[in-house]
Structure 1
Amino acid sequence: MKQKLSIVKIGGNIIEDQESLSQFLQLFAQLEGKKVLVHGGGKRATDFSKKLGIESKMVDGRRITDAQSLEVVVMVYAGLVNKNIVAQLQASNCNAIGLSGADANTIIAKKRPVNEINFGFVGDVIAVNAESISRLLSAAFVPVFCALTHDGRGQLFNTNADTIASEVAIALSHTYDTTLYYCFEKKGVLRAISDEDSVIRRINMESYQKLKQQKIIADGMLPKLENCFHALNNRVQRVCIGDLSMLEPKAQLFTTITL
């Protein structure tokens, strides 16, 4: 019987709210079994870019990462945000270790091809070193990944944190009974964006297509759902979307994604 593993991706709005972040990290630290945390930090990177006089360029919510922007995201993601999270987890008796995809050669990516848009130093994941991550888990470490990968030839890439969470979950599902959690500021996928309690409790591929046609699921939620189904189609056992209360032992109000 496989050991249970929780992969949790934390959203930027929680990271930016210190009270919410503290509550989340306490709940995460209390999660039973082996676990991995994945985070971004885009809003903090945008703020630091502004302070440094570097213009942040976004297309459909995705960051154009030129050489200057890459320096900022490396400093913010792998430095300020990651080490703050690791320190707070250590304070909750959770033996966290901060990582990028370059550490222990855990996540390999390739530069996103230039089509209509040149995203610059943005990477698409091509391989996850499950053995390296499993060794850390077996040694009772809790890996905390920031949204950075590498190409194995010395180049770092900015990489979507939702995608990293999905690909890490897929790679580890060969060894573990894996649940993937996307934790953000909403209680789940909402039927009406203005109604915080209109959570759609369960979404499968058929209902997802209908919700897309009705424009109930749109914009930034679309790539998140695509990552969910990608994970489920590749042996991840469960995928859930909700706010930090989703991690509570008796939580009920969140969205579960199924095939």
Structure 2
Amino acid sequence: MLRILKIGGNVLADPLALDQALSFFADYQSPAILVHGGGREASDLLKKMGHEAKMVNGRRITDAATLEVVTMVYAGLLNKQLVAQLQAKNCNALGVTGADGNLIRAHKRIVKDIDYGFAGDIDAVNTAGFKSLLEGGFSPVCCAITHDKQGQLLNTNADTIASSIAVALAAAYEVELLYCFEKPGVLMDAEDNKSVIGHLNPTSYAELKQEGIVHSGMLPKLDNAFAAIANGVKAVYVGNLESLGNGKATRLSW
């Protein structure tokens, strides 16, 4: 089974958690793809440069200055650090953006109520390109930068990238999609790590959203997870390394 592991910003910011996540990824004996963002690191650098990160409903507003910074952080420093650390664990990692090999093509998000700037909504995933990398023995490490094939880089939500890659490759592989972040799963009480919701379906998810139990940054993550389940991905799990490893993460199904 092809495993797609998405690691979040809090994991990236914690050296021990990151090392454990990379070991978890490297130890998997079948084809695997790692997807990462780096929002916290990008926000920190923006602040140092005199810019404030702007977020709406868990999504970043990407103006021109922000695009330069997220590209430097996501596609540069973070991506290559992850590749180097995976190589040290005997995982033949290869760092990519959506522009490399035309792997992920997107368009600048159309302005409706909110102008998200240079945010990219995905148009196509190059399934053959990813297959060739996997069959060549590489483990792609994908950052959250896409392109429009007209020369413009775009900032795309990493959860969306993970979901879109999973859906695209589901026609060729059995795919499991794992969203790894700092919590053991989706929680009934954000302050109680023991309140993991073991299973979610679209009905229960809608109820939790309406009640305000699930909100903010979890919304795009779960929206993308359910989109993957609806489009052929065999399994989606949300949790931390421990819960993903012991089967106690939140499982999503249709």
For residues 93 and 174 of structure 1, do their structure 2 counterparts lie closer, same or farther at Cα, with a shift above 3 Å needed?
A: same
Instruction: Judge which range, 217-226 or 104-113, deviates more.
Output: 217-226
The answer for unaligned runs of 5 or more in structure 1 is none
Is 1:109 the counterpart of 2:94? The answer is no
Match of 1:255 in 2: 250
Q: CA deviation at 1:198?
A: 1.1
Give identity over the alignment, percent.
54
Which sits farther off after the overlay, 170-179 or 20-29?
20-29
Q: Does residue 120 of the first structure (1) align with residue 114 of the second (2)?
A: no
- Aligned residue for 2:105, secondary structure, equals strand
Q: Which amino acid aligns with 1:230?
A: A
Q: Which letter does structure 2 place at the counterpart of 1:215?
A: G
In structure 2, what is the equivalent of residue 26 of structure 1? 23
Quick one: distance in 2 between partners of 1:63 and 1:50? 14
Quick one: distance in 1 between partners of 2:52 and 2:186?
32
Query: What is the aligned counterpart of 1:15 among 12, 15, 19?
Result: 12
Q: Which residue of 1 aligns with 2:47?
A: 50
User: Counterpart of 1:224?
Assistant: 221
Matched, 1:71 2:68: yes
Query: Tell me, which stretches of 5 or more residues in structure 2 are unaligned?
Result: none
2:251 aligned partner, one-letter code: T
Is 2:151 the partner of 1:154?
yes
Q: Is the 8 A contact 1:107 1:149 kept in 2?
A: yes
CA contact (8 A) 2:237 2:244 kept: no
Over 3 Å counting, the alpha-carbon distance change for 1:154 and 1:257 in structure 2 is same
Q: Residue 235 of structure 1 is aligned with which of 223, 232, 238?
A: 232
Letter in 2 for 1:13: N
Alpha-carbon spacing, 1:54–1:209, altered in 2? closer, same or farther (3 Å)? closer
Greater CA drift, 203-212 or 6-15 = 203-212
Check if 1:206 corresponds to 2:203.
yes
**Could you tell which deviates more after superposition, 6-15 or 216-225?**
216-225
Which whole-Å CA distance do the structure 2 matches of 1:231 and 1:60 have between them?
20
> SS at 1:114's partner residue?
coil
Number of aligned residue pairs: give it.
254
Task: Note the C-alpha offset of 1:86.
Answer: 0.6
Distance in 2, matches of 1:203 and 1:56, equals 31
Amino acid of the structure 2 residue aligned with 1:142: S
Deviation at 1:247, TM superposition (A): 4.4
TM-score (ref. length: structure 1): 0.95
**What is the CA distance between 1:30 and its match in structure 2?**
0.6
> Is 1:99 the equivalent of 2:96?
yes
Deviation above 3 Å: which 4+ runs of structure 1?
Answer: none
Task: Indicate whether 1:89 and 2:86 are aligned.
Answer: yes
CA contact (8 A) 2:120 2:154 kept: yes
TM, length-normalised to structure 2: 0.97
Deviations, residues 99-124 of structure 1 (Å, cap 9, x unaligned) = 00000100000000112221111100
Partners in 1 of 2:190 and 2:233 — Cα distance? 28
Q: Residues 230, 66 of structure 1: CA spacing in aligned structure 2 closer, same or farther, 3 A cutoff?
A: same
Please tell me the root mean square deviation across aligned C-alpha atoms, in Å. Answer: 1.1
